Chain A
Amino acid sequence: MILGRRSDLPFERDQSTRFLPWIVALMVFLGVLMFAAALVVSNAVDTWDSTLTGRMTVQIPQSTASDETTQALAGILEKTPGVSGVRIVPDSEARALLVPWLGEGVVSAGLPVPDLIDVEIAPGARLDPVLLRARLAETAPDVTVDDHRAWLSALITLARTAEILAFAILALIASAAVIAVIFTTRSGLAVHNAIIELLHQMGARDTYIAGQFQIQAMMLALRGGIAGGLSAVLVLMAFGWIGRGIDAAFLPDMSLSIAGWLVLLLVPAGAVAIAMLTARLTVLRALARMP
């Protein structure tokens, strides 16, 4: 009993600490959702980036397309420096791409679909789409070369903005958590002032007293962090389950990898670390004013 880990300060009687776990739980809940959103957006952008920036699509309008022309263009592309792969997209695959947008009926009812050649660019190589088109136009004047840059850059800008916004909100949430811990700790200092003075008189160093507040903040934040984190995970799992039921080919993959889930653990862990550090610094600053 004597050597138990009971704190010198009776925190359990401290009314001001009752709300901290709830506040931390709410912050962690919102934080995990924000962080998850930022991760999903970031993953989507990376996926778009990696799948589209290393590729170009050569398109031959149906009016001028023929197997010979398409084969000839594929031959030119294969010989073009910087091109690592050329694939003529089968007609059925090209039509399948349109089904989500136009519907099965329209696509299968004789809709003219251009011939497509998927060009893979070697890593590190740079191909100028204008020059490439000019070269291909000698064989097929109506040919177009799409490097996806136009719509991709706008999309990436939008996604990056959303990502920054999510992290900014996360920072705001962390700031609010810091303020909540500061107020709780200050309240604790006022409530336990007599015992703190006693410990101080006995020769307790500031770090000894701060350590007790730090452990208390850790326990409270841990309680709130676990509750908030678990709630957020349940919500994310529900989202994932609902998302799997939606057939939307144009949406990026909304699921999180195992690494993503592990990264989400950083939010409650970060909340605990922030609470501990804030409590410690608050107490040390206050005690520095004692004689």
Chain B
Amino acid sequence: MLSFENVGMRYGVGPEVLRDISFKLAPGSFHFLTGSSGAGKTTLLKLMYLALRPTRGLVHVFDRDVSITPRAELPELRQKIGVVFQDFRLIDHLSAVENVALPLRVGGARHAEIDTHVRELLSWVGLGERLDARPSTLSGGQQQRVAIARAVINRPKLLLADEPTGNVDDRIAVRLMYLFEELNKAGTTVVIATHNNALVEKFGHPVLRLDDGELTLRRKLGPAAEPRGSV
């Protein structure tokens, strides 16, 4: 599904923000990604969703070597990846429904199909009454739910979420986690970057921990269980 081999990443001529990152994510796996602020979580996610190319090392996404995949074939890979951004990145002039429909439109889905799926999903995340609301009129938590709905609307094979429960109360956070687990059960590989230790403990999925640009795997929250690089 996704593998990193000795991946290093630096911006410009600055220091490496990620060093010798090696891991593999099996299809249908569920991982949390944790680490202190500035540890490189967002950069790692960007490498996973193909917004960046590594400075060194190999990245395989859906068994394709990203460094030699022709640029014209990358959109097809990206359409299989759902991303929840930390800052939501909703489009202000579009309604909640239109924002969520975007990945389907980009993928060329038929209009009728889009309409049904989008309304159902927004109702499921508790926004059935705010379908036509603009993002600027929604609360932080509501915006986050729209962002999550947008990331999962086309049932991605890989779902990457950067602090997806950061702006919602515990009840909604747990509900969203159940949504991610449902997707995971349906075969989606999930990686969730979070600072919420309570959530990590509650759901008990393996943890990828980044510290100062280096990655370790812990089967559960607590002391490191395995050496860096072998997941």
Query: Taking beta carbons and an 8 Å cutoff, which residues of A are in contact with B?
Result: 1-3, 6, 8, 10, 12-13, 194-195, 197-205, 208, 288, 291
Tell whether, in the assembled complex, residue A1 and residue B106 are in contact, meaning their CB atoms are under 8 Å apart.
Answer: no
Chain A residues contacting B51 (CB-CB under 8 Å) are 197, 201, 291
Of the candidates A3, A199, A202, A204, the one whose C-beta lies within 8 Å of that of B111 is A3
Instruction: Tell me, rounded to whole Å, the shortest Cβ–Cβ distance linking A53 to chain B.
Output: 58
Known: A2-B114, A3-B111, A291-B53. A203 touches B103 (CB 8 A): yes
Query: Taking beta carbons and an 8 Å cutoff, which residues of B are in contact with A?
Result: 49-53, 71-72, 74-81, 83, 89, 91-95, 97-98, 101-103, 105-107, 111, 114-115, 118, 132
Tell whether, in the assembled complex, residue A198 and residue B91 are in contact, meaning their CB atoms are under 8 Å apart.
Answer: yes
Q: Give complex CA distance A275, B50 in Å.
A: 32
Tell whether, in the assembled complex, residue A8 and residue B115 are in contact, meaning their CB atoms are under 8 Å apart.
Answer: no
Q: Give complex CA distance A278, B66 in Å.
A: 31
Chain B residues contacting A3 (CB-CB under 8 Å) are 111, 114-115
Tell whether, in the assembled complex, residue A6 and residue B103 are in contact, meaning their CB atoms are under 8 Å apart.
Answer: no
Known: A199-B102, A204-B106. A10 touches B78 (CB 8 A): no
Of the candidates B49, B92, B98, the one whose C-beta lies within 8 Å of that of A2 is B98
Q: Give complex CA distance A198, B151 in Å.
A: 11
Tell whether, in the assembled complex, residue A2 and residue B78 are in contact, meaning their CB atoms are under 8 Å apart.
Answer: no
26 A-B contacts, Cβ less than 8 Å apart? A1-B95, A1-B98, A1-B132, A2-B95, A2-B97, A2-B114, A2-B115, A2-B118, A3-B114, A6-B94, A12-B93, A195-B91, A201-B51, A202-B78, A203-B75, A203-B77, A203-B78, A203-B80, A203-B81, A203-B103, A203-B107, A205-B72, A291-B50, A291-B51, A291-B52, A291-B74
Chain A residues contacting B49 (CB-CB under 8 Å) are 201
Q: Give complex CA distance A10, B89 in Å.
A: 14
Q: Which 8 A-B pairs have the closest CB atoms?
A: A203-B79, A203-B78, A10-B93, A3-B111, A203-B75, A204-B106, A2-B97, A205-B75
Chain B residues contacting A202 (CB-CB under 8 Å) are 78-79, 102-103, 106
Chain B residues contacting A6 (CB-CB under 8 Å) are 93-94, 98
Chain B residues contacting A197 (CB-CB under 8 Å) are 51
Q: Give complex CA distance A202, B114 in Å.
A: 16
Q: Give complex CA distance A13, B136 in Å.
A: 16
Of the candidates B83, B91, B101, B107, the one whose C-beta lies within 8 Å of that of A201 is B83
Chain A residues contacting B103 (CB-CB under 8 Å) are 202-203
Chain B residues contacting A201 (CB-CB under 8 Å) are 49-51, 78, 83
Instruction: Tell me, rounded to whole Å, the shortest Cβ–Cβ distance linking A215 to chain B.
Output: 14
Q: Which residue on chain A has the smallest CB distance to residue B91? A: A195
Chain A residues contacting B114 (CB-CB under 8 Å) are 2-3
Q: Which residue on chain B has the smallest CB distance to residue A291? A: B53
Tell whether, in the assembled complex, residue A204 and residue B75 are in contact, meaning their CB atoms are under 8 Å apart.
Answer: yes
Q: Which residue on chain A has the smallest CB distance to residue B83? A: A201
Q: Give complex CA distance A201, B80 in Å.
A: 10
Chain B residues contacting A199 (CB-CB under 8 Å) are 102, 106
Chain A residues contacting B83 (CB-CB under 8 Å) are 201
Instruction: Tell me, rounded to whole Å, the shortest Cβ–Cβ distance linking A104 to chain B.
Output: 74
Known: A3-B114, A201-B49. A194 touches B89 (CB 8 A): yes
Q: Give complex CA distance A197, B89 in Å.
A: 10
Instruction: Tell me, rounded to whole Å, the shortest Cβ–Cβ distance linking A282 to chain B.
Output: 18
**Contacts A6-B98, A203-B106 given; 18 further ones with Cβ under 8 A?**
A1-B97, A1-B98, A2-B95, A2-B98, A2-B118, A3-B115, A6-B93, A8-B105, A12-B93, A194-B89, A201-B50, A202-B79, A202-B103, A203-B78, A204-B75, A204-B106, A208-B106, A291-B52
Chain B residues contacting A12 (CB-CB under 8 Å) are 93
Instruction: Tell me, rounded to whole Å, the shortest Cβ–Cβ distance linking A210 to chain B.
Output: 13
Chain B residues contacting A195 (CB-CB under 8 Å) are 91
Tell whether, in the assembled complex, residue B101 and residue A2 are in contact, meaning their CB atoms are under 8 Å apart.
Answer: yes
Instruction: Tell me, rounded to whole Å, the shortest Cβ–Cβ distance linking A206 to chain B.
Output: 8
